[in-house]
Homo-oligomer: A and B are copies of this chain.
Amino acid sequence: MFRYLTAGESHGPALVGILDGLPAHLHLDVGAIDATLTARQGGHGRGGRMKIERDRVEFLAGLRGGVTLGSPIAVVVRNHDHATPHVRALMDPLSGSGEPLTNPRPGHADYAGALKYRERDLRNVLERASARETAMRVCLGAICAQFLAALGITTHSAVARIGEVAATFEQWDDAAVEASPVRCPDLAISAAMTAAIDAAKAAGDTLGGTVLVRIDGMPAGIGSNRQPAQRLDGILAGALMGTQTVKAVEVGDGTAIAGRPGSAAHDAFALRDGAVVRASNRAGGIEGGMSNGQPILLRIAVKPIPTLMRALPSVDLHAGAPAPATVVRSDVCVVPAAGIVCEAMVRLALVGPILEKFGGDSIEETLDNLARSRAASAALFERTPVQR
A317 interfacial by beta-carbon distance below 8 Å:
yes
Additional A-B contacts beyond A9-B62, A208-B262, A238-B239 (6; CB < 8 A): A106-B283, A115-B377, A117-B362, A228-B345, A247-B255, A268-B314
Report copies per complex: 4
Select from chain B the residue with minimum beta-carbon distance to A369.
B369
A57-111 contacts to B, CB under 8 A, are 59-66, 69-74, 76, 91-97, 104-111
In contact, B269 and A308 (Cβ under 8 angstroms):
no
Residues of B within 8 A of A94 (CB): 30, 59, 63, 65-66
In contact, B302 and A205 (Cβ under 8 angstroms):
no
A172 interfacial by beta-carbon distance below 8 Å:
no
Q: Given contacts A119-B362, A237-B249, A258-B161, are A1 and B64 in contact (CB under 8 A)?
A: no
Select from chain B the residue with minimum beta-carbon distance to A128.
B71
Residues of B within 8 A of A385 (CB): 120
Q: Given contacts A96-B65, A359-B358, are A372 and B380 in contact (CB under 8 A)?
A: no
A365 interfacial by beta-carbon distance below 8 Å:
yes
A206-226 contacts to B, CB under 8 A, are 206-210, 220-222, 224-226
A50 interfacial by beta-carbon distance below 8 Å:
no
Q: How far is the CA of A345 from the CA of B237 in the complex (A)?
A: 14
Q: How far is the CA of A361 from the CA of B118 in the complex (A)?
A: 8
Our pick among B5, B112, B260, B265 for the contact of A293 (Cβ within 8 Å) is B112
Interface size on A, residues (CB 8 A): 180
Residues of B within 8 A of A209 (CB): 258
In contact, B380 and A60 (Cβ under 8 angstroms):
no
Residues of B within 8 A of A116 (CB): 70, 220-222, 224, 290, 357, 361
A38 interfacial by beta-carbon distance below 8 Å:
no
Q: How far is the CA of A30 from the CA of B95 in the complex (A)?
A: 12
A383 interfacial by beta-carbon distance below 8 Å:
yes
Q: How far is the CA of A116 from the CA of B291 in the complex (A)?
A: 9
